[in-house]
């Protein structure tokens, strides 16, 4: 289950990502916001981060205008490793090395086609499981 959330700056891109998830039969839960009206991104970052940290969702996708505010907030929740990615290489590497559990993007920064390629790379890459990466992730948790 993928938890997805956004603020008004990410609303349009969230809908595009949801269409992609539907088309690919990927189960998701939409934590809002549900319109383009101005809202506060920490509310939605917290909802998705808590859903991932509690195990209700396996992973999450968060989108605001830049992706920055929503990623800063998500990373305040224990157990969350939120990665702000606007390129495919970073999306792959953060799964391989950081086992990131939330992907953040900026709806005002990245175009829809590119965002879909980033999301596809992130969703489709497993954590490498290498000892050195596990050790570093444990250090983050500590």
Q: Which residues contact ligand RB5 by CB under 6 A?
A: 7, 9, 41, 64-66, 68-69
- Is residue 8 annotated as a catalytic residue, yes or no? no
127 contacts 94 by C-beta, under 8 angstroms: no
CA pair distance 47, 62, nearest whole angstrom: 10
CB nearer to ligand RB5: pick between 7 and 99: 7
- SS3 of residue 113 by DSSP: helix
**Shortest CB 82 distance to ligand RB5, Å:** 13
CB nearer to ligand RB5: pick between 53 and 72: 72
CA pair distance 97, 50, nearest whole angstrom: 22
**Shortest CB 32 distance to ligand RB5, Å:** 14
**Shortest CB 27 distance to ligand RB5, Å:** 26
**Shortest CB 24 distance to ligand RB5, Å:** 26
3-state DSSP percent of the chain in helix, strand and coil, to 5: 50, 15, 35
Which of 33, 116, 36 shows the shortest CA–CA distance to 70?
33
- What are the tokens at 43? 């509310």
Q: Which of 6, 57, 64, 104 is catalytic?
A: 64
CB nearer to ligand RB5: pick between 73 and 94: 73
CB nearer to ligand RB5: pick between 57 and 105: 105
- Is residue 64 annotated as a catalytic residue, yes or no? yes
- What are the tokens at 68? 């920055």
Q: Which of 8, 97, 114, 133 is catalytic?
A: 97
Instruction: Give the residue numbers marked as catalytic.
Output: 64, 97
């Amino acid at each position: 289950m993928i938890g997805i959330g956004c603020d008004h700056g990410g609303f349009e891109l969230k809908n595009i990502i949801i269409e992609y998830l539907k088309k690919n039969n990927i189960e998701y839960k939409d934590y809002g916001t549900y319109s383009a009206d101005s809202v506060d991104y920490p509310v939605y970052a917290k909802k998705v981060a808590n859903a991932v940290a509690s195990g209700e969702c396996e992973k999450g996708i968060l989108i605001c205008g830049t992706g920055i505010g929503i990623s800063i907030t998500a990373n305040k929740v224990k157990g969350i490793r939120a990665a702000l990615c606007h390129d495919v290489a970073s999306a792959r590497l953060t799964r391989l090395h950081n086992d990131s559990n939330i992907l953040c993007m900026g709806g005002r920064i990245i175009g829809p086609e590119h965002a879909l390629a980033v999301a596809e790379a992130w969703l489709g890459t497993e954590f490498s499981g290498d000892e050195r990466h596990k050790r570093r992730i444990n250090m983050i948790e500590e």
